[in-house]
Amino acid sequence: MQEQNALGRALNSVMEVGRDLLAKRGLVSPPGTSTNDSLLAMCRELLHHRGEASGLALAGEILDTYQQLDNEGRQAFFLSLAREFEVDPDLVKSAAAAYNSDPSPHNLSGISKSVEAPRLKLFRRINMTPGGTPLLVAMRGHLSSLLREYPELHRVDADMKHLFISWFNKGFLELRRIDWSSPALELEKIIAYEAVHEINGWTDLQSRLREDRRCFAFFHPAMAHDPLVFVEVALTDGVPGAIAPLLQQDRDPVPPRDASTVVFYSISNCHKGLAGISFGNFLIKNVVEELRKEMPWLKTFVTLSPVPGFRKWLAHADLEGLAEEDMLEKVRAPSGRVVEADTSEALMSLCAHYLVNEKSRELAKDPVARFHLGNGAHLYRLHWAADLTPKGREQSSSIMVNYLYDLDKIEVNHEAYFDQGEISVSKMVNKLLR
């Protein structure tokens, strides 16, 4: 951390010199220039700029100016990135012709350069300035809200994702345990980013960090106190079938020495701009290793997971042959209704079918199932009335799932899932399917 702070101070010092150079060379936009025009002018300049100090300062000016944009300004900026900072077809043709005449390494390199959009170089240069990485992540988050309306922006999104896959490589990530002694800034982020089971203030957070609980997060050096993804863990003496006891604040904690089971009950991705960059699978495996080192007597590793896509699928699915005729209206009843016991058997059976048989591109349709099954987990148990919160009823009719991480079979399950589309299921799940 001290090394990062020293580097940050050095870069800021260089940028101060660079700002003076920019001002002397007239590269700072004059008063009266629109924010968006100024931003684009600086982006064009940065693409061809050679000076290190002034280049860092220019990138810093781009960051500051972007943050002044309103939603309309961001939209115009992204569209300019898609249209103006795009691959030049003539350069591609010329490079291809040169390689066709002489298939040398030099000409092959020329093809590689010609098919790379100039905005990639722009993003790399922006990333070099202090604060560049988190702002580019935020920028992609802003961009994501425009993709449906402006399909041409998918090219910009794909370029950013391509860079982020390299920049947020597993080798750069640091696993940290979050506890009550962690910096306040990190604790505040955990409260803000929790996406599965809302944390209701500091008392609730403290409860989730007691001796029978654990929280682990991945961090990136460029975002030192801002987690990328985190997982909340409960240490229990058995496999749980409901979420309320895990979240209960006035519980009697299970002494870690008496725990037999690790329960992953919440995984939260923290940044919309990092969508599609996989961290969770590495996180779970690293946490398993950490916990086995700390408590080698732990034997069972399971999740208690929601089924977020179940009721959305249920509302529009063809249920012929999957449920009795007289149950159709009941199982599709509005989510606000009290969960009725007489629908439990039908809904549990339908949920098992949804998890195992409903696919998206040959993988499980439900996003949580797709994640855990892709990690090599085993579909272990379904639980009725496991989440009676409004969100739990609305998403999954109160049903929750245990995915079992059998450490001896994870790789076998993973290979079977991706190679043959096979899902490892328990006898209990098979009974529900029949």
The residues carrying an active-site annotation are: 305, 372
Looking at this protein, which amino acid is placed at residue 316?
H
Pairing of strands 300-303, 261-269: parallel
Pairing of strands 363-364, 378-383: unpaired
The span from the CA of 362 to the CA of 375, in Å, is 16
197 three-class SS: coil
Longest dimension (CA), the chain: 80
- Phi and psi at 113, nearest 5°, equal -70, -35
The span from the CA of 169 to the CA of 27, in Å, is 35
CA distances to 262, 376, 405, 412 from 408, in Å: 16, 10, 9, 8
Q: Quick check: 306 and 396 in contact, CB under 8 A?
A: yes
- The helix (run of H) or strand (run of E) holding residue 363 is strand 363-364
Strand partners of residue 264: 233, 303
- Phi and psi at 432, nearest 5°, equal -65, -35
Label residue 156 left, alpha or beta by phi (over 0 means left) and psi (-120 to 50 means alpha). alpha
Q: Quick check: 136 and 67 in contact, CB under 8 A?
A: no
Q: Which of 371, 366, 354 lies closest to 414, judged by CA?
A: 371
The alpha helices in 69-153, defined as continuous H runs, are 71-83, 89-101, 105-114, 118-127, 132-144
Q: Quick check: 382 and 399 in contact, CB under 8 A?
A: yes
Q: Quick check: 398 and 385 in contact, CB under 8 A?
A: yes
The span from the CA of 139 to the CA of 292, in Å, is 38
Q: Which of 279, 207, 216, 283 lies closest to 245, judged by CA?
A: 207
Q: Quick check: 318 and 349 in contact, CB under 8 A?
A: no
Q: Quick check: 189 and 227 in contact, CB under 8 A?
A: yes
